[in-house]
Amino acid sequence: MKQIVIVFLLLTTFAFAKENAAIEFAPNMERKTPANASYILSYYNVLKDAKLSVVNISTQKSIHNATRQNPFFNDPLFREFFRGYNYRGMPQEQIQNSLGSGVIISKEGYIVTNNHVVEGADTIKVTLADETQEYEAKLIGSDPKSDIAIIKIEAKDLHAMKFYDSDDVKVGDIVFAIGNPFGVDGTITQGIVSATGRNSMGITEYEDFIQTDASINPGNSGGALINSAGDLIGINSAIVSNGGGNVGIGFAIPSNMVHQIAKELIQNGEFKRAYLGVRISNLSDEMKSFYKGKEGVLITSVEKGAPADKAGLKRGDLIVSVDKEEVKSASALKNKIGSYPPNAEINIAYIRDNKELELKLHLTSDKLNTPDTLLSYKGVEVEEFEDLKKHALGDIANGVRVSKVQADSEAYKAGIRVGDRIVQVENQEIRTLQDFQTTTQNSEKKRLYIYRQGAVFAVVL
């Protein structure tokens, strides 16, 4: 009985396939066997040279906000003896050690790495491949918005890695990640390019990542992503992971962006981007009907006195191209403007009232539009939301976001953390950086109302 059932199923399947699907097979391919099978395929000759350009970076950072409880203070006799004194904890300085990687980009000792590898470090030490000697490194400059930093060691005739044009990188290219994961020096992993032009990942402010499935783990940050010719196509920066280990989704900053920023950091110690002065958002499917189905980037606000304002751009304009190059997303426009030097002149095509228009404007530097006085107060740095509605919950639709808190500051001790939203200072609601600056001009103690995970609480600074 079982045999009959099996035959019936096979016949039914065959009939169904015959009527509904034409299944095609690839032609037979000739299998070639090496005449001399005594050799193996290897990338050794490429990797042995590339490996010499990747260094180990170790940093030390002093943490001052830690406290340590003295066990004697648990004794009632000692508590009575020290009545009236603060015996709850004693300040203690802790040393935080971190490991990362870097890539030598010049024979004179300049090394590129991630900003997060060296940010806030008191000391930076570099160990070259196949060496045990440590070099003291100096921070030349950093660009947190792209997570790139340049350090330098006093050494000559180093093995510098050559840059490859990352615009020519294609999905499917074989790549290798070189770095020091978990402190294991000179580790090389292989994969392919999974995607290019990845943005809106929330990793850095300026994103144009190369995605790869080559294994990248903690300690790989700042290391090299190279192609099969041994040339640099990117600097490994981040991974997507639930537990901190590799799951096959890694991101590298493309070499063209690295080269542009590194060159400026070496020459001037900082990287200045061009500034347009608009807030922008992607165009929803419903909004496209107002612009005749065109793709582009919607202007949601224009900063007074900024280049966009002076040129006549307005809220509701749809930017469709910059210097004849189409822009289809907010990230694409942001990266495009950020790629120009300050004071550059550009042509912008935009749609207003169903008419496509064009104008010229002169950009300025982003450094001129983000003064420190607008950003910091008693150890806390804040920034405006790019898309306020996206982050709004309930009736909380205002505030400035906490982007950084110094470890030993009043703000940190008060409980303020990165990601918090300051929605009110005393009786003044906060909607812009200007509001925050106005309400924190003097050093008197103030009540700050903080929004975090659906709740609002108050602290005193």
As annotated, the active-site residues are 116, 147, 221
Q: How many CB atoms lie within 10 A of CB 189?
A: 19
Phi–psi pair at 408, nearest 5 degrees:
-105, 20
- Report yes or no: 23 and 17 within 8 Å, Cβ to Cβ: yes
Question: Per the structure block, which two tokens stand in for 360?
Answer: 């010229």
- Report yes or no: 159 and 104 within 8 Å, Cβ to Cβ: yes
- Report yes or no: 176 and 47 within 8 Å, Cβ to Cβ: yes
In the block, tokens 């530097």 appear at 365
Question: Per the structure block, which two tokens stand in for 167?
Answer: 């615009």
The distance of Cα 308 from the centroid of its chain, to the nearest Å, equals 26
- Report yes or no: 181 and 218 within 8 Å, Cβ to Cβ: yes
Give the Cα separation of 116 and 222 in Å (integer): 9
* Distant-in-sequence contacts of 95-99, Cβ < 8 A, 24+ apart: 95/60, 95/61, 95/62, 95/63, 96/60, 96/61, 96/62, 96/63, 97/58, 97/59, 97/60, 98/58, 98/59, 98/60, 98/61, 99/56, 99/57, 99/58, 99/59, 99/180, 99/182, 99/183, 99/219
Question: Per the structure block, which two tokens stand in for 72?
Answer: 């004697």
- Report yes or no: 450 and 457 within 8 Å, Cβ to Cβ: yes
Give the Cα separation of 148 and 160 in Å (integer): 17
> Measuring CA to CA, which residue among 394, 449, 446, 393 is closest to residue 421?
449
Segment (H or E) for 246 = none
Single-letter code of the amino acid located at 248? G
**Rg of the chain, C-alpha, whole Å:** 28
Question: Per the structure block, which two tokens stand in for 81?
Answer: 């003896």
Q: What angle do CA 380, 384, 389 make, to 5 degrees?
A: 130
3-class state of residue 431 by DSSP: coil
Segment (H or E) for 320 = strand 318-322
